[in-house]
Amino acid sequence: MADPAVRYPGVRYPRLLGRARETWIQYGVLLPLLLVVAAPVLVALVQSFASRPLYEAAVFDASSYVRLFTDESFGTVIGNSVLLAALTTLISIVLGVALAVLLIRVRVPGGALMGSLVLWPIYISPLVLAFGWIIVYGPAGYVTRIVASVVGGQPWNLYSIPGMALTSSVAFIPIVYLYCSNALRIADASLENAARTCGARPLRVIWTVILPLLRPAIMYSGLLALTGSLEELSIPLLYGKPVRIELFGSFLYDYGLDRANPDYGVLGASAMLFLLFLAVLVSAQGFVLRNSRRFIAVRGKASRVQRFDIGGLRWAGFALAVGYLILGPLLPLAGLVARAFTQVLSPLLNPFDVLSLGNFQIILGYHQYAGSIGNSLIVALVGGVATTLVAALAVLMARRSRFRFARVTEVASLAPQAMPGVILGLGFFWTILFIPPLRPLQGSLITIIVAFGVAALPVAFSAIAPMVMQISEELDQAARSVGVDWWGTFTRVLARLIAPALLASFVLVFVTMIKAFSAAVFLGNADSDVIGTTALTLWGNGNTGAVAALSCLQIAITAVVVFLAGKSVKVTAYA
């Protein structure tokens, strides 16, 4: 400027076949993404209309659907699944909302501490929870036997639809709590202050102002619980099998794995129906979320959340929260830990007399069992990094580019929300089976990483997208204007700014993948077992102690990673 003679050349970027680098990267991400998301569904769709397995000569008709609908047991499966999902959702919403209001908005002794405890089971696999529940509340469970010795007979039956619903709601209450507590924290305090000045007492304010404001959070988290419990595999598998209660997940599992000669057509048809049903529910989620804006009562500045004083009733609230925490997650987990460190767990024996590390010796001593922990770690680490990277690019393509298929990218990244792990596993299994060049991938860790990665992609996308949206688009535009291209904008500017979201995404994906197993039941083999599939095998063999030990190791791994992540950055749990 002082020297007007200064001239610098403009920036030029090399082009390949006339296309800029960003175009190649964007298509390079989208096409494989579409392939891995669509392939399992398409193959299952084709299979559902084929009379025989696709690798044999097949006739295409709708006969599989006819066979499926005329199968009496399928009606029962649908009925059971819907009943379980509805019951789970109901329990989760009632308890989740009650806990959120109590612990966030009411002066309850120990509220803050219990608030973090309620969220905790989000990190624990439903499979592990189910093991814990069976050890404690099962027909031969620790607590069951104590109660039976007092009241006589069998006090309750865990292996029933209500028993399943109670167990799985422990997995979904944290999700309802998470959404509702966030909504409560950001709600505009002046709304309730207005009600107070009109003469409403605390309980009245809670009922007339606060609960209606929670409606969108309740709707959204309720739908998450509904879809989640529909596609859940572990609890139906563990509870349903001994008493022959069939549900969607276990039906597909039995049909596809346990039969000597599975009817692929019927399997495909039921998978398609299930997908269709979930797609409707997930679209409803999107619809609810879109409309929820008009309910949102947010002011820019965060005001301190006031807690209501509800007098003596607070002790009732305290009892509810403590009761849930002890009976729901804590006691079963304590049972699990106790079982892991004892030879046998029974109310008749002092557990300290039978202390043993034998269960851990079984896990760590056998190559296959120990290997499954290594496999899970590899899958979660590699998968966590890869999924986070793909999701970050997908978010930028969807929200921060002029890419022609921005919308397609977003839909493809979020679509796996409606794909249960069992169906993903089945779809990938068939894809590999029917496309001979892919056969070497069968049973490999790569396949499992891809399948788990597809399942975890929506979580990663939803963890990254909000942070990207919070960053002013002018920061990208400024970079573009001074001469940085789309990719450079990501590496030089955005990647640094969204680093916390990338870390959060990695942790979430890692935790999800350590827990995941349902896709692997079809895809894994003896060399590529993960923790979940190994636990299932051990459980099937009746080796409860080893299962408990393995579950403890899984929890320990998760705890270490979450703790380390929490050290460097505050991670919010996204459901």
Partner 1 sequence: MPELRVTNLTKRFAGRAAVDDISFTVADGEFFTLLGPSGCGKSTTLGAIAGLEAPDGGRIEAGEVVYLDTDTHTFLNPEERNLGMVFQSYALWPHMTVAGNLELPLRLRKVASGERDRRVNEVLDQVGLGDCRDRYPHQMSGGQQQRVALARALVYSPTLLLLDEPLSNLDAKLREQARVWLKEIQREVGITTIYVTHDQGEALTLSDRIAVLRDGKILQVGTPQEIYELPTMPAVADFIGRCNFLAGTILTTRDGRVTVRVEATGTELSISVKDTYQPGEPVTLGIRTERFTFATSGTVPDNALPVRLTKRLYSGAWYEYELDCGGQALFARHTACVDGDELMLGIPEDGAYVFRENV
Give the binding site for partner 1 (CB under 8 A): 1-4, 6-13, 20, 402, 472, 474-475, 477-485, 488, 492-493, 496-497
- Please choose, from the candidates 501, 468, 494, the residue with its C-alpha nearest in 3D space to the C-alpha of residue 480: 494
> Which CB sits closer to partner 1, 10 or 437?
10
Q: Which is nearer to partner 1, 455 or 484 (CB)?
A: 484
Cα 319 from Cα 331, distance rounded (Å): 16
Nearest to 209 by CA among 190, 185, 186, 182: 190
Distances (CA, A) of 362 to 127, 368, 544: 20, 10, 11
Shorter beta-carbon distance to partner 1: residue 479 or 550 = 479
User: By three-state DSSP, how is residue 5 classified?
Assistant: coil
Cα distance between residue 429 and residue 50, in whole Å: 16
In this structure, which long-range contacts are made by residues 65-74, counting pairs with CB atoms below 8 Å and at least 24 apart in sequence? 65/269, 67/263, 67/265, 67/266, 67/269, 68/266, 68/269, 68/270, 68/273, 71/266, 73/246, 74/251, 74/270
Return the number of the residue (367 or 402) whose C-beta is nearest partner 1.
402
Minimum Å gap between C-beta 4 and partner 1 is: 6
Give min distance, CB of 18 to partner 1, in A: 11
Angle at 17 between CA 16 and CA 21, to 5 degrees: 35
Residue 503 CB, nearest distance to partner 1 (Å)? 15
Closest distance of CB 480 from partner 1, Å: 4
Question: With contact defined as beta carbons under 8 Å apart, do 221 and 178 qualify?
Answer: yes
Enumerate residues 6+ apart whose C-beta is below 8 A from 8.
none
Closest CA to 422 of 40, 76, 164, 18: 40
Residue 452 and residue 519 in contact, taking contact as beta carbons nearer than 8 Å = yes
| Shortest Å distance, C-beta 55 to partner 1 | 46
Smallest distance from the beta carbon of 468 to partner 1, in angstroms?
Answer: 15
Cβ nearer to partner 1, comparing 46 with 471: 471
Closest separation between CB of residue 467 and partner 1, Å?
Answer: 13
- Partnered with residue 342 across adjacent β-strands are 355
Q: With respect to partner 1, which residue has the nearer C-beta, 71 or 485?
A: 485
Torsion angle of alpha carbons 125, 127, 132, 138, nearest 10°? 150
Distance CA 70, CA 74 (A): 8
Residue placing its CB nearer to partner 1 in the complex, 13 or 315: 13
DSSP state, residue 342: B
Q: How far is the CB of 567 from partner 1 (least distance, A)?
A: 21
Smallest distance, partner 1 to C-beta of residue 507, A: 22
Closer to partner 1 at the Cβ: 261 or 481? 481
DSSP per residue, 510-525: HHHHHH--TTHHHH--
**Of residues 337 and 471, the one with the C-beta less far from partner 1:** 471
Report the distance separating Cα 423 and Cα 271, nearest Å. Answer: 6
Least Å distance, CB 400 to partner 1, is 12
Considering the complex, state which of residue 2 and residue 151 has its C-beta at the smaller distance from partner 1.
2
